């Protein structure tokens, strides 16, 4: 009898609870996290139409001109790049995204987005989508549902994707590139430049690296607790797409409590920066991010973290290493080969690309004279560079200062 009454009570209570759990309104953005819980009843919430727009439509909306390039890498991946052209530009900028996003990473703030801000300052802007990310999930012979499609990490993106992108941009513009890479995008830049110093000289003017990941000696993020089990269970997981963030993304749009939970959990994974992240950008993050992550990316960062913290190539095991590298252990990336100017932007509260590890990169791994400037962003964790309330006065301003310096030194 008690169970029957409880079931009836829950059934009657369900219509009351649903508006507090599931978003049934047309609103998709709020100015604070608590208001997401009240999104069906008002609060400081609104509908942002840009959230649902594809990247080409966003670019067309805010610049009036977009060009799309479908390019094929040497190993068969078909990538999509977007170009925001300019007549007589001040320079050519390539924006390389982080691990869990494509070109949308640079366009998540409407007219004020970094990509559009750079274009308005007179630069021609190219936006890449690395293999596996949205817009780059095709191959000449493989489907993205095939685990073999996902047999790549950031090394392959650096060696194949960047090479193809650089060639296309140079063919179209006949100009060297100012490369802006964020997190894994910065990792890829350092790999490419260290392995291809001559080609880098031909293609690149300068590197601007935002929260670059190389060694992870001082990693304090709770992500390290994911790295341990994944490495030991990689024979079970095999190769494929890492869907953990994708699952969160599926829940994030309709479930009103998810933004609040993410706000609580972010300090443990990215770094504690109270009241820094802009809640209004939450719909962008979970409408577009969390795609294109391969297991091999995670495994490679895990190896760097667990195996002496050298910035080394992928470890295939002793037998395969001997065949591939001619040694039992994978070689370190020869960062002494990086000759082009490097500017580094990092967060003082970043739990992933920690200030201590940035210092190792700048002082021990790169030759003197290569690092032309370092910019510490106060009260910034690993994602605040794009999603801080104060992004225009912090990250954007640091980038503009660097670009002005590059312009002066031409």
The phi, psi pair for 344, rounded to 5°, reads: -125, 130
Determine whether 71 is exposed, middle or buried from the number of CB atoms within 10 Å of its CB (0-12, 13-18, 19+): middle
Q: Given the residues 194, 380, 382, 388, select the one marked as catalytic.
A: 382
Q: Given the residues 350, 380, 384, 388, select the one marked as catalytic.
A: 350
Q: Helix or strand or coil: residue 171?
A: helix
- The answer to whether residue 350 is catalytic is yes
Structure token pair of residue 269: 């994974």
The number of C-alpha atoms within 13 Å of 207 and in the hemisphere containing its C-beta is 29
Structure token pair of residue 259: 């933004």
Q: Given the residues 103, 113, 136, 183, select the one marked as catalytic.
A: 183
Among 324, 239, 290, residue whose Cα is nearest residue 105 = 290
Say which residues have a Cβ less than 8 Å from residue 384's Cβ, sequence separation at least 6: 270, 273, 276, 277, 347, 377, 391, 394, 395
Structure token pair of residue 268: 């443990």
Q: Helix or strand or coil: residue 147?
A: helix
- The answer to whether residue 380 is catalytic is no
- Per residue, the 3-state secondary structure of 181-230, as one string, reads EECHHHHHHHHHHHHCHHHHHHHEEEEEEECCCCCCCCCCCCCHHHHHHH
Determine whether 103 is exposed, middle or buried from the number of CB atoms within 10 Å of its CB (0-12, 13-18, 19+): buried
Which residue blocks in 233-354 are alpha helix, DSSP H?
A: 234-237, 244-252, 258-269, 282-288, 295-306, 318-325
Rounded distance between C-alpha atoms, residue 386 and residue 17, angstroms: 34
Scored b (16 or more CB within 10 A) or e, 248-274 reads bbeebeebbebbbebbeebbebbbebe
Rounded distance between C-alpha atoms, residue 75 and residue 175, angstroms: 26
| Positions marked active-site | 183, 350, 382
């Amino acid at each position: 009898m008690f169970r029957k009454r409880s079931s009836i009570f829950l059934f009657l209570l369900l219509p009351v609870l649903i508006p507090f759990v599931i978003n049934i309104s047309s609103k998709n953005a709020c100015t604070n996290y608590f208001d997401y819980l009240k999104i069906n009843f008002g609060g400081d919430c609104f509908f942002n139409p840009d959230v649902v727009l594809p990247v080409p439509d966003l670019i067309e909306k805010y610049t009036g001109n977009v060009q799309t390039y479908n390019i094929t890498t040497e190993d068969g991946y078909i990538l999509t790049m977007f170009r925001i052209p300019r007549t007589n530009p001040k320079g050519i900028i390539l924006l390389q995204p982080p691990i869990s996003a494509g070109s949308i990473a640079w366009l998540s703030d409407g007219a004020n987005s970094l990509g559009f801000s750079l274009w308005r300052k007179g630069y021609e802007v190219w936006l890449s989508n690395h293999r596996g990310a949205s817009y780059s999930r095709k191959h000449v012979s493989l489907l993205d549902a095939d685990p073999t499609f996902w047999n790549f990490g950031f090394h392959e993106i650096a060696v194949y994707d960047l090479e193809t992108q650089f060639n296309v941009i140079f063919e179209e513009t006949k100009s060297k590139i100012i490369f802006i890479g964020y997190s894994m995008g910065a990792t890829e830049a350092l790999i490419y430049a260290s392995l291809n110093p001559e080609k880098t000289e031909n293609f690149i003017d300068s590197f601007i690296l935002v929260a670059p990941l190389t060694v992870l000696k001082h990693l304090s993020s709770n992500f390290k607790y994911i790295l341990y089990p994944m490495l030991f269970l990689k024979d079970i997981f095999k190769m494929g797409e890492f869907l953990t963030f994708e699952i969160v993304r599926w829940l994030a749009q309709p479930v009103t409590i998810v933004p609040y939970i993410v706000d609580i959990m972010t300090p443990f994974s990215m770094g504690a920066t109270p009241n820094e992240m802009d809640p209004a950008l939450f719909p962008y993050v979970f409408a577009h991010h969390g795609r294109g992550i391969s297991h091999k990316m995670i495994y490679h960062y895990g190896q760097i973290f667990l195996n002496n913290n050298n910035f080394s190539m992928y470890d295939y095991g002793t037998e395969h290493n001997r065949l591939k590298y001619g040694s039992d252990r994978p070689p370190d990336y020869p960062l002494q080969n990086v000759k082009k100017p490097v500017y580094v932007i990092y967060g003082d509260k970043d739990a992933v690309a920690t200030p201590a590890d940035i210092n190792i990169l700048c002082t021990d791994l790169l030759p003197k004279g290569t690092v032309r400037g370092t910019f510490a962003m106060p009260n910034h964790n690993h994602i605040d560079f794009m999603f801080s309330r104060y992004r225009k006065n912090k990250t954007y301003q640091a980038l503009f200062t660097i670009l002005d310096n590059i312009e002066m030194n031409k």
